[in-house]
């Protein structure tokens, strides 16, 4: 994993931290997204910067406790896993997970892209399943014919 140094403010103090390489994730509208912060800090904070207004920081959790009580977000595993419920286009953007363990601050970024499932994608999967089932039936019928002859 590519790590680099970055300056950030956490718990009111400025730190030079280890920043992990960005993680990109595609999520579909209406589904839940799960972001896992692969760090081992005792104090974890999640923040969100929307693509619609990237200058507006939204605090989701602070010191491993949920701040946003809208029901949109949930955290688990001592703050390491962030769940975004029923994803909408407005959930696209950059999520930051900041962790502090003693004097070792870390940061991980998640770039979340939200897409709409297309009918053609769903139809393609359905048609492939139908074709596979049809081939199994044809194959079974041919075997039955050969055996009974």
Looking at the fold, whether 31 and 55 belong to one and the same domain comes out as: yes
Predicted local distance difference test score (pLDDT) of residue 131: 64
Dist. CA 32–CA 98, nearest whole Å: 22
Predicted local distance difference test score (pLDDT) of residue 1: 45
- Per-residue CA distances from 113 to 11, 16, 26, 65 (Å): 29, 28, 5, 25
Residue 75, domain CATH: 2.60.40.10
User: What is the mean pLDDT of the segment spanning 101-120?
Assistant: 81
Number of structural domains found in the chain: 2
Please state the φ and ψ torsions of residue 103, each to the nearest 5 degrees: -110, 20
Looking at the fold, whether 85 and 136 belong to one and the same domain comes out as: no
CB 75 within 8 A of CB 82: yes
Looking at the fold, whether 142 and 104 belong to one and the same domain comes out as: no
Looking at the fold, whether 98 and 138 belong to one and the same domain comes out as: no
Looking at the fold, whether 19 and 89 belong to one and the same domain comes out as: yes
Question: In terms of residue numbers, what domain contains 136?
Answer: 118-149
* Degrees to nearest 5, angle at CA 2 with 36 and 85: 20
CB 111 within 8 A of CB 24: yes
Looking at the fold, whether 68 and 129 belong to one and the same domain comes out as: no
DSSP-based three-state secondary structure for 25: strand
Predicted local distance difference test score (pLDDT) of residue 136: 57
Looking at the fold, whether 126 and 111 belong to one and the same domain comes out as: no
Task: Report pLDDT digits (tens) over 11-52.
Answer: 565 555 566 668 889 999 999 999 988 876 667 888 888 888
């Amino acid at each position: 994993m590519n790590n680099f140094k970055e300056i950030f403010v956490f718990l009111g103090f400025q730190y030079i931290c280890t920043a992990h390489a960005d993680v990109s994730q595609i999520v579909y509208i209406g589904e839940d997204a799960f972001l896992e912060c692969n760090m081992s800090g005792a104090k974890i904070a999640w923040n969100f910067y929307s693509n619609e207004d990237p200058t507006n920081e939204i605090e989701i959790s602070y010191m491993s406790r949920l701040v946003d009580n809208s029901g949109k977000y949930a955290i688990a595993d001592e703050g390491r896993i962030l769940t975004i419920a029923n994803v909408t286009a407005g959930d696209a953007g950059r999520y930051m997970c900041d962790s502090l363990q003693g004097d070792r601050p870390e940061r991980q970024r998640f770039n979340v892209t939200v897409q709409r499932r297309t009918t053609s994608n769903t139809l393609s999967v359905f048609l492939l399943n139908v074709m596979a089932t049809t081939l199994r039936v044809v194959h079974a019928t041919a075997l039955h014919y050969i055996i009974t002859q």
